[in-house]
Amino acid sequence: MKPWTRWLGWLGLFGLGMLFLLVSRLPGEPEAEPPLLETRLLMGTLVSISTWGVEEKQAEAAMEQAFAEMSRIEGMMSRFIPTSPVSGLNDAPRGAFHTVPAELISVVSKGLEIGQLSGGAFDIGLGPLSDLWGFSREPPPETPPAPDALKKWREERDRTPGPGIELASDNRLRLTGPAIGLDLGGIAKGYAVERAMEMLRQAGVVNALINAGGDMRIAGSKGGKPWHIGLRDPRKPDGVVAVMDLTGSKALATSGDYERFFMADGVRYHHILDPKQGGSSRSGLMAVSIQAADSLTADALSTAVFVLGESAGLALLQQFPGCEALLIREDGQMVQTPGFVATRSKTP
Amino acid sequence: MKWLELFLRASTPTDRFVLGISAAGILSSGWLITSEPGKRAVVFRDNRPVMTLALDQDRKQEVSGRLGPVIIQVEQGRVRLLEYQSPRMIGTRTGWIQGAGRATACVPCGVLVRVEGKQKGSAPSSAHEFDAVSE
Amino acid sequence: MSGHVSGYLSIPPLRRDLLIAYLAAAAVTVHVLEAALPGPGPWFKPGLANVFALVAFLRLGWRGAMAVTLMRILAGSLALGTLFTPGFFLSFFGGCGALAMLALLRMIPSSGLGVVGISLLAALAHMAAQIVAAWLLIIGHAGILAALPWFLAGSWISGVLNGLLTYLLLEHFDRHHALLTEP
């Protein structure tokens, strides 16, 4: 019999051929390992968490903790949950200081800071005005509130100087007028997302994406591939006007006039309220997206810039180094700051 | 009988052993693959599972939501929530969902439908499939 | 006596080449006829042509089997007009898979495997290589691998049948006194 090493040579050649085929095939294989995805209803929106590169059990436990953290923050900062400290403050008579959780104090003070920098365009004290408009009501409103009611709010609001929210030592807080009520809708979601990402990080998840109804936080990548994020077309629910491929630690938030709105007599009334107007902000913008280092800042700035409009909004952004914006004007034109990461964008 | 005789004559004991082992291997792996459960969607009400829908049976299923009944439609392995007049009804925006892990919801109703299982190996079926959409 | 694996016959060299040519010609004929058969698809053929490669393997050695197989695939595709089409590459990889299995079996001479076992293992390797090639070259979707057990079940049956046919063929083959004389 011939030495078997000869046949081994042939076998090796065949094996090499197969290996070559396999290797040449691999780069074309799209996302060999897809991220794990988990979704919940939280904070009045659909919250999804994707993780990558962590074993399933560990990832699921981490996501569970992240959801629980967001739920805990909702329970503290939602004005729609009657037992929350925020509801407690809103229901209590005005003028007296109340002790609240330190976490709430820190979010409120951050909100007041951005409110001041924005010249009052961002306002966490609009609870009563939001109630008047009722965009969070179900079923949603179909008409604007009565002019009398709005006038009354305006008069009362004007009697209260400043933001109407005061902080004191030992985690105390007070609301100073009847037209003032905490509405952390423009900031609490961002804070919760930020905290959720922190929970994931502590649980050993390095690559993740959290999406809470457009408030987004990303970390790492999908095995070297960026997280692939679309920016919704303000007028076409299924359309996308820009694509953002993001890696590393970044936050992204979008405010748009299409999230909650109704049309009455051909006029669009949406949920982003301008404190100066006492109604839907008319700043010439349909949507504002902010990229920032943390979700809380991105969330608050997207609202602030929306209310301020293009020129004042971009000026405000100057005070937040590292924050970038993409604005969509009412005519569909898009404007973006140089550092805003977006590829393949087109006008809507 | 002739074939059996031929088989017994033609095969060695090792042959029969290899035949048996390979048949067992093939059949068990085939059985494993077919007994894998069909795709299903889980319906959640306030984040608690309330029912499971097999996606291979077309049907319309009504579930009670916070604001009244919500209709879930299953068709050709896909699932969606039927129109509900609310701008916050994400379900009508998402439309049909199909892939494992995908979800659709009526936020004010507290109803969420999620396709069971993990995303499959060759994940995004089109270039337009995003990890998330900012809105 | 069982299995017919008892070593090579001492066949004179010129006779060997002629035999390879005969076996290859027969294999090509069966290959083309089989392709003309109506069937559920190109992958569910009994692979009768492989019988001749097995005869070559058992009586003339691995190189004989390789010669018969490659000639069958090349000449068969030429005859059918499918040269360098996907179907050709599938056949080619299938053939290579079977040959690789035969080479492997050659390395363990005292395995006790007979015609039927060798035929079965070669048929399974043939099918597995074909499916992997289809996955890599044509379909590009790992879903086809999920169907592998069913394809393998089919080739299990054809592997056993081909083994029995090979056995019968070998009985005639070995009785043929022409083998032992110069042509």
Q: Render pLDDT for C152-178 as a digit per residue (tens, 0 to 9).
A: 898 999 999 999 999 999 988 888 766
Could you tell me which chain B residue has the CA closest to the CA of C120?
Answer: B19
Residue B24 lies in a domain: yes
| Interface residue of A46, A216, A280 to substitute, partner B, most B CBs within 10 Å | A46
Residue B9 lies in a domain: yes
Q: Which residue has the tokens 């294989």?
A: A29
Q: Are residues B19 and B74 in the same domain?
A: no
B123 in reach of chain C (CB within 8 A): no
Residue B132 lies in a domain: no
Residue B135 lies in a domain: no
Q: Are residues B46 and B96 in the same domain?
A: yes
pLDDT in tens, C37-69: 766 555 567 788 999 999 999 988 899 999 999
Q: Are residues B27 and B49 in the same domain?
A: no
Counting the structural domains of chain B, the total is: 2
Helix/strand/coil for A79: coil
Q: Are residues B95 and B70 in the same domain?
A: yes
At A204, list the tokens: 């050993």
Helix-, strand-, coil-residue percentages of chain B, each rounded to 5: 25, 35, 40
Contacts of B82 by beta carbon, 8 Å cutoff, 6+ apart: B60, B70, B71, B72, B73
Structural Rg of chain C based on CA atoms: 16
Mean pLDDT of the B71-81 span: 87
pLDDT in tens, A17-69: 655 555 444 444 444 577 888 899 999 888 999 999 898 899 999 999 999 99
CB contact under 8 Å between B11 and C116, yes or no, is yes
CB contact under 8 Å between A262 and B105, yes or no, is no
Q: Are residues B59 and B107 in the same domain?
A: yes
Instruction: Burial-class residue A180 by CB neighbours within 10 Å (0-12, 13-18, 19+).
Output: buried
Q: Does B119 score more than 80 pLDDT?
A: no
Class of C13-180 in CATH: mainly alpha
**B129 vs A230, B99, B112, CA distance in Å?**
9, 11, 20
| Interface residue of A25, A36, A37, A209 to substitute, partner B, most B CBs within 10 Å | A37
**Alpha-carbon gap: B20 to the closest alpha carbon of chain C (Å):** 10
Please give the residue range of the domain that contains residue B26.
Answer: 2-34
Supply the ipTM of this predicted assembly.
0.83
State the pTM of this model.
Answer: 0.66
* A42, C141 contact by CB (below 8 A): no
| Interface residue of B5, B16, B17, B22 to substitute, partner C, most C CBs within 10 Å | B22
Residue B120 lies in a domain: no
Q: Are residues B24 and B84 in the same domain?
A: no
Q: Does A139 score more than 90 pLDDT?
A: no
Residue B133 lies in a domain: no
Of B6, B13, B30, the CB nearest to C149: B30
Q: Are residues B47 and B107 in the same domain?
A: yes
Q: Are residues B46 and B110 in the same domain?
A: yes
> Is A198 or C39 the better-scoring residue by pLDDT?
A198
Query: Which amino acid does the sequence have at A19?
Result: L
Q: Are residues B59 and B102 in the same domain?
A: yes
Residue B93 lies in a domain: yes
Query: Residue B48's domain is classified under what CATH number?
Result: 2.60.320.10
Query: Which amino acid does the sequence have at A236?
Result: K
At B29, list the tokens: 């792996």
Q: Are residues B11 and B74 in the same domain?
A: no
**Alpha-carbon gap: A25 to the closest alpha carbon of chain C (Å):** 7
Of A42, A56, A254, the CB nearest to B135: A254
Q: Are residues B61 and B97 in the same domain?
A: yes
Q: Which residues of B touch A36 (CB under 8 A)?
A: 101, 118-119
Q: Are residues B10 and B75 in the same domain?
A: no
Q: Does C111 score more than 60 pLDDT?
A: yes
Strand ranges, E, within A138-296: 165-168, 172-175, 207-212, 215-219, 227-232, 240-246, 250-256, 261-264, 267-270, 273-274, 279-280, 285-292
